[in-house]
Structure 1
Amino acid sequence: MFSNLEQTFRWYGPSDPVTLAAIRQTGATGIVTALHHIPSGEVWTIDEIEKRKNVILSAGLKWSVVESVNIHESIKTAGTEREKYAEKYIASLKNLSQAGIKTVCYNFMPVLDWTRTDIDYRLPNGASALRFYAPALAAFDLYILEREDAYKEFTIQQKQDAKLYFDSLGTEEKNRLTSNVMAGLPGTKDVLTIDQFKGHLENYNDVDAARLKENLAWFLQAIIPEAEKLGVKMCIHPDDPPFPIFGLPRIISTENDLLDVVNAAPSPSNGLTFCTGSLGARADNNLPRMIERLGKHIHFLHLRNVQREADGSFYEADHLGGSTDMCAVMKNIILEQKKRMDSGRDDIAIPMRPDHGHKLLDDFNYNTFPGYSAIGRLKGLAELRGLEMGIKNTLYQ
């Protein structure tokens, strides 16, 4: 039997209510984290990296994956300073490599790196989940943000549903919706104001999907050759949600998008974070087939499930429930591991983390980052671990 997937857990650093000691009890051996206190675009120094690495090592764990070294907005918009920020990004990769941390997750989403309208959606069993409710997003865009182009982008039915939803909200509910939507800044609990968000949107007035793809290709061609020299594996995260919102383009949402990424700078260092939740929010994404075709480029796995709804809404389901056949996904991941073993690759134990857990039981007593409860993710990890073992025993014993 070949290596199991490397079981990892995301940790938001020393301020995270989910401690390293608690994570160790889940059975995970690897930590996925970032230096969130360093502003986007600034260099991660070797001292800061080693300090965080030693905290993790002292807890009996390993810093397996960086999530994320965030990309400065000037790179995404092709600003005048993008070359400077690309050089700083490479400097951070060099320091991470020197510290022995060589898998780096990142994304290329404009402004927000995830969006939900409800961060406390109650399921029938009382658990709390994250939810993206399409009429709520449209209501925010049309009647709170009051973005001018929004009226052209929604259908008549979507606008009617949005108005009906908006009229049902009280002042407190409108404020909560605003806070939820504006809370998607990378690696932080900070919430943008409406005026700040409008300012960010203006920066993308001249950036459509084609231009954003060009800017991503420029970034990849600038950093991937250096990453390859360092032995660093870059793995882009899909858009969340995987469709345009607020007039912002989304360019990492489909199989063709992922192919565009790996073809923009062909290299073993230019790979993918395969997130079954983000990609699974689109009904036209066949996830098992995507793994068959793109498996060799996958450097990191986010395994979660969403229940899709007909109007484009979705909520975070149980890891083995929801709209994605997680058994078929896991089977094809295992088949990819077998291919790697047979071809002599040394990256068979692909890092995997249970993404976005429900709040369960004692989780309600802690103010964790949305989706990053302790017990909910422990449940997800246990289910995924059992699924992996069951499939491997069926296939290879």
Structure 2
Amino acid sequence: MRATRAIIRLDAFRYNLRLVRSRVGSARKICVPVKADGYGHGAVPLAKTALEEGAEFLAVATADEGAELREAGITAPILLLSIPLPEEIPELIVDKLIPLAGDRDFVRELAATAEQGGEVLSVHLKVDTGMGRIGCPPESAAELAALIAGSKHLKLGGVATHLAVSDSLKQDDVAYTKEQLTRFGRAVEDIKKAGIDPGLVHTANTGALAFHEDAFFDMVRPGILLYGYAPAGAEQVLPVKPVMELVSQIMFIKQVKKGETVSYGRIWTADRDTTIATIPVGYGDGLPRRLSGDFQVRINDAWYPLVGRICMDQCMADLGPNTAIRRWDSVSFFGADALSAADLAAKLGTISYEITCGINKRVPRIYVDT
């Protein structure tokens, strides 16, 4: 086991799921996205925990991600959120994944492949109400729903859209989200007027969970919220807990004299005699190199700055001239009582998703469920 580890707190994940359940009520279904290896937390353990807590659906981005869940013995419904290649369709049919479809050509491709295997494939219609990625225009939803429902080998299991700025409280963004919901509502009504059962109607992502109760419909799809990060302004409504903590241990301690430099590029020079700790975490593990010289770590309940360039496998902290810290003492980078992934993201001008997803496979995950 490496000194560097990602501690995954399943108890915090359970807590966050229960917050969502209390927010949306018992009648609505919860779809838990576990794409990108569960946002870096581990898809299979998080999926199993979500289902234990009463989540009804899971969601992935690729057919391979869905296959991983099936191979782990998971039988719950799994939404496939991205469009697969034609050659991947047989695989998703075998694994009983539920694709999103938003154009006639793809619907026909799904129907033809399902027919070859004698299967009936559940499909959710994706409506593009303003996200601008995939999906049909709202005015075409009824026509496409009829194409799906009219196929002997397809079944319309649901209708969905995705909200672009639901996590923002800016006036223009709130208005945009309301307009998206209006367009979506009209599309669903058009489907119903055509005599077609739309199945599960769903759109609410993390931002909508916090700020737009009119987006809850039949099922909600909270993403990063479940992993411990709510949009700004939602802390009172959804006080979630971070699920991942990145920790390590000091592997080497040395004395550095005033005027000496540390690490690549010699960007840091000691302004006094001091003590430097080397920690086996670097950008090869997912610690962004851009944090060099602008980040602190927690060591034994105190905070110390990282100095010099973050390397692929190591980084260095300035412990000061007088220290009781010793080799193998623990170091926390983010999560739990340390800085959060959101704090790192704010420094880098990015989002917490990128931080947790970036902690790569060479960092072992340790699952804690208290």
Normalising by structure 1, we get a TM-score of: 0.33
Which one has the bigger helix percentage? 1
Instruction: Considering fraction of residues, name the structure with more strand.
Output: 2
